[in-house]
């Protein structure tokens, strides 16, 4: 008896007797299905091959090309023929299980997002401060053709632009990237503004950030509300990009403004940098005083940063 049959008897605690032939057949069928699914995931198909593939006909009415494509992309008829060890079969099953868990988690998050009221999201997302703008501020899902200005994340831009459409009302969005970087044929201008953000204890605090303002309306422009005299001051700070190497052991989700500030404090004083913007690729941007720029650059590469 081969190890394949024995491994299933051991895993399912079935004795090697003729009384359990039916159960053993069920076990083999169950493992066979999971092996086929693992084969499909490992080959980038994400599941079983489509039943519509391979039905086209080539020249002369033959199915040669379509059949060869289906044969190349279908799991083997005997899914265990390339399995060399019990551990390999265990690994294949783990891949299938992990794939299923990711799909279930994504479905759960999508349903939870639909179930939560708008007020729950409004309290947790960063919002603009009304007093700083010449038009009403709103949430990204409230911005429409009637006008307004909202802070919008990258994954929300498409829905906002589609909802706004063409409008003559003052309408704009504040983003972390320019319109060109987001694939829009609009002009963006740098802007310093305040955002009300949620803290760890659930309260709201106002922070000053550097973002980009993009006009979506084709009428009057949205702008910052100016109070008092306007003074042109020379720029004394430089925008610096900081990259954290994977050797640091950090995941993109672990990188925060506090992490960046701690790394910078090892080279320059805390009051000589501001406007930390963390990205999702283990990089961040920060404004640094020109007087200590050379000092900071001398520390480049220290601790894989």
pLDDT at 181 over 90: yes
What pLDDT is attached to residue 301? 80
The structure's pTM equals 0.45
The contacts of residue 219 (CB under 8 Å, 6+ apart) are: 167, 168, 169, 170
- Phi/psi-derived region of residue 183, left when phi > 0, alpha when psi is between -120 and 50, beta in every other case: left
186 pLDDT tier (thresholds 50, 70, 90): very high
What pLDDT is attached to residue 50? 47
More confident position, 156 or 228: 156
What pLDDT is attached to residue 274? 85
For the chain, how big is the Rg over CA atoms in Å? Answer: 29
Which of 202, 198, 153, 146 is closest to 173 using CA atoms? 153
pLDDT at 299 over 50: yes
CA distance readout (Å), 53 to 38, 42, 65, 70 = 20, 19, 11, 6
C-alpha span between 281 and 65 (Å, rounded): 42
Q: 14-64, pLDDT tens digit by residue?
A: 444 444 444 444 444 544 555 555 555 555 555 444 444 444 444 444 444
Maximum distance among all Cα pairs of the chain, rounded to whole angstroms: 95
User: Do residues 276 and 284 lie in contact, with contact meaning Cβ atoms separated by under 8 Å?
Assistant: yes
pLDDT at 197 over 60: yes
Element (H, E) at 191: strand 188-198
User: Do residues 136 and 106 lie in contact, with contact meaning Cβ atoms separated by under 8 Å?
Assistant: no
Q: 26-39, pLDDT tens digit by residue?
A: 444 544 555 555 55
Q: Which of 5-27 are b and which e, b meaning 16 or more Cβ less than 10 Å from the residue's Cβ?
A: eebbbeeeeeeeeeeeeeebeeb
């Amino acid at each position: 008896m081969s190890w394949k049959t024995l491994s299933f008897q051991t895993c399912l605690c079935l004795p090697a007797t003729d009384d359990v032939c039916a159960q053993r057949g069920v076990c083999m069928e169950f493992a066979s299905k999971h092996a086929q699914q693992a084969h499909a995931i490992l080959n980038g198909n994400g599941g079983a091959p489509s039943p519509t593939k391979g039905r086209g006909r080539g020249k002369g009415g033959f199915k040669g090309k379509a059949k060869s494509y289906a044969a190349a992309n279908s799991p083997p008829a005997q899914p265990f023929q390339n399995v060399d060890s019990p551990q390999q079969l265990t690994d294949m099953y783990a891949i299938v299980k992990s794939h299923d868990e990711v799909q279930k988690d994504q479905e759960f998050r999508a349903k939870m997002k639909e179930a939560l009221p708008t007020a729950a999201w409004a309290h947790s997302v960063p919002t603009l401060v009304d007093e700083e703008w010449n038009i009403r501020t709103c949430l990204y899902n409230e911005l429409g053709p009637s006008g307004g200005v909202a802070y919008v994340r990258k994954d929300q831009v498409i829905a906002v632009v589609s909802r706004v459409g063409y409008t003559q009302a003052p309408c704009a969005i504040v983003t972390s990237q320019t319109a060109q970087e987001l694939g829009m044929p609009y002009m963006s201008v740098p802007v310093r503004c305040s955002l009300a953000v949620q803290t760890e204890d659930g309260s709201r605090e106002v922070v000053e950030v550097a973002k980009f303002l993009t006009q979506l309306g084709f009428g009057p422009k949205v702008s910052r509300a100016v109070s008092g005299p306007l003074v042109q001051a020379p720029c004394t700070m430089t925008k610096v990009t900081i990259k954290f190497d994977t050797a640091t052991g950090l995941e993109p989700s672990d990188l925060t403004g506090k992490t960046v500030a701690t790394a910078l404090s090892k080279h320059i004083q805390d009051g000589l940098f501001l406007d930390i913007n963390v990205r999702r690729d283990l990089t961040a941007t920060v404004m640094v005083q020109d007087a200590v720029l050379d000092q900071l650059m001398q520390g480049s590469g220290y601790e894989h940063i």
